[in-house]
Structures are given as C-alpha cells and as structure tokens.
Amino acid sequence: MRFRLSHWIVLAWLQLSASWAQGVPQVQPEATPESLLPEAPIPKTSEPDEKLPRLFWIIPTFTVSDSKAPTALSSRQKFQMFFDNSTDPFTISYAAVNAGLARANNDLAGYGQGAAGYAKRFGAGMADESASSFFRTFLFPSLLHQDPRYFRKGSGPWKLRFAHALIRPVVTNTDT
C-alpha cells in the first residue's frame, strides 16, 4: 500500500498536536495577606461524568464513553450527538482537506477543476459525513432503541479488552 499525500499530512498533524497539548506552565501568584486567610468551603457542583471527548486533542469522539454505569439517551440527546459531530471544526476541516487533495489528484473528474470543482467536492464530502453520522448516531439508534455509543473497557487483561472491542460492532446496548 503506498502512502498518499493525505496520509503524510495526517501523520504530521498528529505529531504536532502532541506538542501543542503540553501548554504553558502555570505561575503561582505571590502570597498576599488576604491569601493567607483560610478559604471558605466551596460548595460542590455537579460535574459532568466525562471530559470533552477528543482523540489526540483534535479528533472528536462524541460517541465513545468511559462510563461504568451508562444512562439511557433520549432521541434528543442522540440528535445532539449527531449535530455536535457534524458541526465540529475537525469534521469540517477533514472534509475540506480531502476535497483539496481530491481536486489536486483530479479524483472524481466529473466535478471539474478550480474553485467550482473544489466546492462540489467539499459539499459532497460534507454531505457524506453528515448523512453517515445521521443514520449511525441518530436515526437507526432512535428507531431501534439502541445506544449509539461505544463503551470502553478500560481495565482488565488485554485479551478481554481486545475481545470486547471486536464484539462491540455486532453487539450493542439497548436504551434500557
């Protein structure tokens, strides 16, 4: 299998994202007389169970969950997952990059060249991404009362985790 330009771009992008994620170290402010006073108790607020789902800090994983006790999703929540995934900047930029590479390689020659050909390829790519996400995340799970999320098995022997990952595309959780 030969590597296309798109493969090299994705690999370079993933490498750079790891260096960007390190961030700038936080600087502690100097102590003032007011800061030496004991702090008042902070009321506990309900935090969401899961943090912002990203793979390598850029690729959205809205349909992956680490929850040990999952709650059922309503149709509205399933639609929200579809909408979040479809309007995510990574999804849009992924379709834009693929459209640019397809135009450069003159793939799908019927779309033509130039800006009009790029726009047609970009529109077709976005329509394809949105339609597949709509059916996979919202419509079929809502009609069949299934949970569209993938639940990670984060602990245990690797053989059990590997078997869990292999069987999950076939066996799904229901809404109950």
pLDDT digits (tens, 9 = 90+) for 28-37: 555 555 555 5
**Three-state secondary-structure class, residue 42:** coil
Spatial separation of the C-alpha atoms in residues 62 and 93, rounded to whole Å: 17
- 173 in Cβ contact with 70 (< 8 Å): yes
More confident: 126 or 15:
126
Domain total in the chain: 1
Question: C-alpha dihedral over 61, 65, 71, 73, to 10 degrees?
Answer: 20
DSSP 3-state helix, strand, coil percentages of the chain (rounded to 5)?
50, 5, 40
131 lies in some domain: yes
Q: Calculate mean pLDDT across residues 74-86.
A: 89
127 lies in some domain: yes
pLDDT of residue 47: 43
Q: Calculate mean pLDDT across residues 108-117.
A: 87
pLDDT of residue 100: 92
pLDDT of residue 106: 82
Model confidence at 130, pLDDT cuts 50, 70, 90, reads very high
16 lies in some domain: no
Angle, vertex CA 96, rays to CA 95 and CA 102, nearest 5? 85
pLDDT(55) > 60: yes
22 lies in some domain: no
Q: Which of 71, 72, 77 is nearest to 175 (CA)?
A: 72
Instruction: Quote the distance between the C-alpha of residue 9 and its chain's center.
Output: 19
52 lies in some domain: no
pLDDT of residue 10: 56
Q: What is the pTM of this model?
A: 0.61
Tokens of 12: 């370079």
Burial state string for 124-160 with b = 16 or more CB within 10 A and e = fewer than 16: bbbeebbeebbeebbbebbeeeebbbeebeeeeeeee
114 lies in some domain: yes
More confident: 55 or 143:
143
Number of other residues whose CB lies within 10 A of the CB of residue 66: 13
The residues that bridge with 150 in the sheet, in sequence order, are 64
170 lies in some domain: yes
53 lies in some domain: no
Q: Calculate mean pLDDT across residues 86-112.
A: 89
Range of the domain at 173: 73-176
